[in-house]
Amino acid sequence: MTADRCPRCTLRAALVVAGFVLAATAAARAQPERIVSLNMCTDELVLRLADAKRIASVTWLSQDPLNANMAEVARRIPANHGLVEQVLALKPDLVVAGAYTTRATIGLLKRVGASPREFSVPRNLAEMRAQIREMAALLGAQTRGEALIADIDARLDVLVARRPARPLRAIVLRPNGFTVGRGSLVDEILTRAGLVNIAAELGIESYGQIPLETVALAGAEVLVLNDTPDGPPSLAHEVLHHPVIARLSGRLRLVALPSRLWTCAGPSVVDAIEQLVAQTEQRK
């Protein structure tokens, strides 16, 4: 069968050739000049650490201001939907991705020797700092990386004096009735804001569902809603607007935090802590 009659053969051949090109280009350059990111969180780090002219593409998700922190910058850069054909057409010398996204594309790129760099989800601020440093080294932007970390730490130091003398009891409620417990970045966000995470007390590890009855009876003083103002309606978000939640507003403070503030590890995490601290101060 000829290549014209075998589209898959043609695609496989193109992948092999592209793989050799990617590997050769990456080896020839110490600092990548055509960076492609396949994950919204790696998008954000790349956009913060690399010059825009060196970024070949970021995901379309990063161009949405409701869900992304760097949308204004991202909109000036070509978007991708995580497809291997898009990646190869961009002729990148560096591909970065998240550990749990675009698995089919990552698998194909590995098969042709492109060696994309995958980044996991940080579970605390220490891992967040390590990830920033890892990405900065990969991009040849160590100075920017250290400056970014120094700014984060300086903002965190200022917040220490603003935390309440008595930690308030809090619980996070996300779409579909999920909450966040121990072993998560959100848990440390609550702690840094001077709050006690009730989900951690209940033994919930990382993410887990929680009944609204528990939310109502757990003695919470702060209810943190993971909500996106002006976002599209969905069944997953209906629980956040349940009558039980509305009635709780009379005896505890409801704090709505946009998901973009704590979906990805970076300076936006400090924004989330600052908002929580500000809401706590209003209760004094």
Domains in the chain with CATH codes: 3-141 (3.40.50.1980), 151-281 (3.40.50.1980)
Q: What angle do CA 162, 168, 170 make, to 5 degrees?
A: 115
Count Cβ atoms within 10 A of the Cβ of residue 85 and give its class: 0-12 exposed, 13-18 middle, 19 or more buried: middle
Which residues of the chain fall short of a pLDDT of 50? 1-4, 13, 16-17, 20-21, 23-28
Digit-coded pLDDT (tens) for 226-274: 766 566 665 556 666 777 777 776 777 888 888 889 889 899 999 999 9
Q: Strand pairing of 94-98 and 117-119?
A: parallel
- The enclosing H or E element of 105 equals helix 103-111
- Residue 229: its pLDDT value, please? 59
Cα-based distances in Å from 78 to 9, 43, 48, 56, 91: 29, 12, 16, 7, 13
pLDDT recorded at residue 259: 85
* pLDDT value of residue 2: 43
Q: What string of DSSP letters covers 147-160?
A: HHHHHHHHHHHHHH
Entry pTM = 0.82
> Distance (Å, rounded) from C-alpha 175 to C-alpha 209?
10
pLDDT of residue 225: 83
pLDDT of 28 reads: 41
Coil, strand or helix at 182: strand
Place of tokens 């780090």: 45
Output the DSSP codes for 213-239.
HHHHHS--SEEEEE--TTPPP-HHHHG
Instruction: Give the per-residue pLDDT at 17.
Output: 47
Is the distance from CB of 256 to CB of 229 less than 8 angstroms?
Answer: yes
**Structure confidence at residue 20 (pLDDT):** 43
- What's phi and psi for 122, nearest 5 deg? -60, 140
* Contacts of residue 8, Cβ cutoff 8 Å, sequence gap at least 6: none
* CA–CA gap between residue 129 and residue 149 (Å, rounded): 6
Cβ-based burial of 112 (10 A; exposed 0-12, middle 13-18, buried ≥19)? buried
